Amino acid sequence: MSAVITGMGLFTPAGRGVADTFDALLTGRSGLRRPPEGHPAAGSLEVAGVLPDIDPRSVASGPETKVLDRVVLLALITAAEALADAGIEVGRDVDPERIAVIVGGVGGMSTLEGQVLARAARGRAAVSPYLLTGILPNMPSARIAIAHGIRGYSSSVGTACASGAQAVADGVRLIRAGEADVVVCGASEAPLFGTFADTFGNARALARGWDEPTEASRPFDKRRNGFVLAEGAALLVLERAGHADGRGVRGYAEVAGFGANTDAYHPTAPRPDGAGAAACMRRALAAGGVEPADVGYVNAHGTGTKLGDVAETIALAGVFGTGGVPVSSTKALTGHLLGASGVLEAAATALALDSGLLPPTYHLDDPDPECEADHVRAVPRPTRAGHALTNSFGFGGQNVSLLLRRLSGPARRAATPAAG
């Protein structure tokens, strides 16, 4: 049984919703800026992917509005948008027992930090009885299920920056096993607060020293010096193809296969030889029954770190040959949404196949010779690709590659031509 993407909910630094986000990726509209004065991460981050404030009353009511962590708010917003985009109302368009929800991410860490500080300042009585429901990683999935009456499989995924892509892979598994007709899957992350920002900053993993914040994220560029931390959420509606056909709905793309494995090398660093990442990509291709020559685009993990970009380039060359496939990283505009990046990039890859336009890597002014590839640079590139791959790699050596297949027929949405 095949799984198709029939809905998307996107809340990203570069844009809100399908059209706004993809137009930003095509036209080079960056979502990166300096955290404004008073922001929780203002003293810790030079540049970040910052979202607007969210009124909790837009997704909840009563006392609930005071206890929902930002990761839950983002998940609720994007889940509602994804289901609406797919045209699905639970109980009307799908049996509540036959729809699942899988949301990745680290959970409500900003709530935890706030409660630890409150206890230190005011004692035990300051600790909220709602602490657990604020920080547990399964709360985004659970709150979505409660909000929409979803009574099927529900889980959270914690594979670091591969979490969102892993959630999509797990959703495909459920559909292929006949355990669900529809899966809401993806990730939500809200890491822009002091302690979380400081740990990356002290590890010297973040981009720094840039006069213009929008130019700080530079995947594969010779001057890159780290990634830009960002918040956001992306959720997809995966649907059994026969179920979507029965509703008369055309998807954006099919998830034709996936690969998932582990480097077993280091807690934070990638394997320098890219062997784990290359094996992961080969697994995805084999699962979809395609050869490397059948793939017309790779949306790279491409965070802008020195080691990560080189290791991924080596892995790509091992699978496709040097310059054997067009490559780009959309993190140049969105920053790194940690676990939510993989599912956002799966959405971007599906939209690239659907529209026939590959989003470029912006700010790739001087490609690093160690990152030699067929980079899509500066302007979108027209494509007739039938298959595309998107990579997500996380701390602990977590690797996930998703293989997407273009669907036949007219495009789901018309892409806005990008200015050259």
Give the residue numbers annotated as catalytic, written as ranges: 161, 301, 336
- The gap from C-alpha 142 to its chain's centroid, in whole angstroms, comes to 20
* Tokens representing residue 186 in the block: 């993806």
Q: Where are the alpha helices (DSSP H) in 17-105?
A: 17-27, 70-86
* 8 A C-beta contact, residue 415 and residue 355: yes
Beta-carbon contacts of 51 under 8 Å, excluding residues fewer than 6 positions away, are: 11, 12, 13, 74, 231, 232
Considering just the CA atoms, what is the radius of gyration of the chain in Å?
20
Distance CA 144, CA 140 (A): 6
- Tokens 């931390």 map to which residue? 229
Which single residue is written with the structure tokens 């740990």? Answer: 199
Determine phi and psi for 16, rounding to 5 degrees: -120, 125
Are 312 and 301 contacting, i.e. CB atoms less than 8 angstroms apart?
A: yes
SS3 379: coil
Give the DSSP H or E segment for 387.
Answer: strand 387-394
Encode 217-245: b = buried (16+ Cβ within 10 Å), e = exposed. Answer: bbbbbeebbbbbbbbbbbbbbbbbbebbe
Residue 230: which of 1, 74, 91, 28 has the closest Cα? 74
d(C-alpha 64, C-alpha 154), whole Å: 21
